[in-house]
Amino acid sequence: MKKQIHLNAFEMNCPGHLSHGLWAHPEDQRTRYKDLSYWTQLAQLLEKGKFDALFLADVLGIYDTYEQSADPAVRLGVQIPANDPMLVIPVMAMVTKHLGFAMTASTTYEQPFSFARRMSTLDHLTKGRIAWNVVTSTLQSSAYNFGLTDSVKHDERYEIADEFLEVCYKLWEHSWDDDAVVKDWANQLYVEPSKVNFIDHKGKHFSVPGPHLSEPSLQRTPLIYQAGTSGKGKELAAKHAECVFIGGYRPEVIKRNVEDIHRQAALFGRKSGHIKTFGVLTVITGRTTEEAQRKLADYSSYFSQEGAVLHYSANTGYDLSEYQDEDYLQYTETNHGQSLAALFTKDAAKPKTVGEIKHELGQIGNRGLLAVGTPEQVADQMEQWIDQTGLDGFNLMQVISPGTLQDFVELVVPELQRRGIYRKEYETATLRQQVFGGTSGRLPEDHPAISQLRKGNTHDAITY
């Protein structure tokens, strides 16, 4: 059987995600992000296209690094205004049966006890179709809004994330036995107390006695996504993530990161087949090459280079407004996104001037791979990248919404199906089963939530 390509749609609950300025295009509907119908229609389109999930990004602050001001981001609508991603999921779940939903949430600014309950609730309501994209949050403005005087240092953020995940695993996997809920009406016994356990977690960053307030959902633990490709980010992903989001547009760099994730995962005792990797992909397609190129030219006329530059500045901590175009940007350790900082510096094929970096940032698809052409040409390119890099699939970015996805679903999906590399129908129930197969929908035995925590699972049961 040919290797199957997995697909997520990459979006955000705001007027513009990564295609900066395209909210102004007459065919773009992202300014409808406040309408429930926008999200239900998008979800139904993705289910028609047999996508694994809608991957919802999020940010908890404003981009104010560029020119040391928030004004450019506000003026251009660069991920502001931005609404909560969690609250649109239930309505999308109501109009779909199989599509999964990956929600971004920060371990730096959440509390594991309350967060675990919200995720369990979503997993119940969606019948096991929830994923969590684990992020640690880099923005200084986020820190200020949560009462801190400075952002949490890079390595400490990942230390917090590791413990946060441990607490969540204890709540999701070890607080309730599978058969704790009895519903014995005759004896007035809804839950067997001896099968609900306190977790008694006491760590450096969190103290959570438990028990978990929600009974086990179909997946117990939501499917875990993670996007870090810094040293600490890769370590966290290798230990915890089931789906790893890998940015970049050079296949050789993507391949190196894919191999490194699998190598590190093996050190944690995890099997390679229990981790899937996803690249970033923008597709512009048409029935002819000329039509696709016309679309690219049209969309490019709306793309905001300034929006892309200020976004990059905020993500990396490098304020590009302070440089001359002829200056060379050098990689330096940053408290922000280290993989993005390396994208145009140490990971670049050759040194780049700031002017060259701005030019590249000003192109559609600047954060990842770009395929422009007929369905056959796009499918060829996707297959080639899968073969070259070892990726298992892609997070598909929209240029205009929902037009980009409509074109992909109507034109490219049938070509992928014809080649036998993409599903024709959904065959399983939970999101984890869609991605990995199997019959249970639960975490595998080699995941640290199962293999490591089980060893020390001596928590007290609830007693009368």
Nearest-angstrom CA–CA distance, 367 and 405? 18
Q: How many residues does the chain have?
A: 464
Tokens of 106: 């920060």
- Does residue 255 form part of some domain? yes
Task: Tell whether residue 177 is among the known ligand binding residues.
Answer: no
Question: Angle at the Cα of 418 (from 415 to 419), degrees rounded to 5?
Answer: 90
Task: Tell whether residue 158 is among the known ligand binding residues.
Answer: yes
- H or E segment at 22? none
pLDDT attached to residue 9: 98
- H or E segment at 26? none
Residue 431: partners with Cβ closer than 8 Å, 6 or more residues away: 52, 53, 100, 101, 128, 129, 130, 131, 219, 222, 223
Nearest-angstrom CA–CA distance, 221 and 171? 9
Task: Tell whether residue 104 is among the known ligand binding residues.
Answer: yes
- Does residue 162 form part of some domain? yes
Which residues span the domain enclosing 181? 6-283+375-456
Nearest-angstrom CA–CA distance, 431 and 63? 33
pLDDT attached to residue 12: 98
pLDDT attached to residue 154: 84
- Does residue 336 form part of some domain? no
- Of 230, 89, 96, which is closest to residue 155 (Cα–Cα)? 230
- Does residue 164 form part of some domain? yes
Tokens 């969309």 belong to 299
pLDDT attached to residue 227: 86
pTM: 0.94
Task: Tell whether residue 35 is among the known ligand binding residues.
Answer: no
Beta strand 181-184 pairing with 189-191? antiparallel
pLDDT attached to residue 357: 92
Nearest-angstrom CA–CA distance, 120 and 175? 13
pLDDT attached to residue 351: 82
pLDDT attached to residue 127: 97
Q: Report the number of distinct structural domains present in the chain.
A: 1
Helices 231-240 and 154-169: angle between axes, nearest 10 degrees: 10
- Does residue 291 form part of some domain? no
pLDDT attached to residue 257: 92
pLDDT attached to residue 144: 92
Q: What is the largest CA-CA distance in the chain?
A: 80
CATH of the domain at 278: 3.20.20.30
Residue 121: partners with Cβ closer than 8 Å, 6 or more residues away: 214
- Does residue 337 form part of some domain? no
Task: Give how far Cα 391 sits from Cα of 78, 172, 255, 267, 383, Å.
Answer: 29, 29, 8, 20, 10
- Does residue 308 form part of some domain? no
The answer to whether residues 59 and 140 touch, using CB atoms and an 8 Å cutoff, is: no
- From first to last of its 464 residues, the chain has per-residue pLDDT tens of 789 999 999 999 999 999 999 999 999 999 999 999 999 999 999 999 999 999 999 999 999 999 999 999 999 999 999 999 999 999 999 999 999 999 999 999 999 999 999 999 999 999 999 999 999 988 889 999 999 988 898 889 999 999 999 999 999 999 999 999 999 999 999 999 999 999 999 999 999 999 999 999 999 999 999 986 778 889 999 999 999 999 878 899 899 999 999 999 999 999 999 999 999 999 999 999 999 999 999 999 999 999 999 999 998 889 999 999 999 988 877 666 666 777 777 777 788 899 999 999 999 998 899 999 999 999 999 999 999 999 999 999 999 999 999 999 999 999 999 999 999 999 988 999 999 998 889 999 999 999 876 655 544 444 32
Burial class (CB in 10 A: 0-12, 13-18, 19+), 179: exposed
Task: Tell whether residue 154 is among the known ligand binding residues.
Answer: yes
Q: Residue 375 — left, alpha, or beta (φ > 0 → left; ψ -120 to 50 → alpha)?
A: alpha
- Does residue 45 form part of some domain? yes
Q: CA torsion angle for 326, 330, 334, 337 (degrees, to 10)?
A: 70
φ/ψ of residue 285, rounded to 5: -130, 155
SS3 of residue 57 by DSSP: strand
Tokens of 454: 């089980």
- Of 272, 217, 269, 268, which is closest to residue 244 (Cα–Cα)? 272
φ/ψ of residue 102, rounded to 5: -105, 115
Tokens of 296: 């690219």
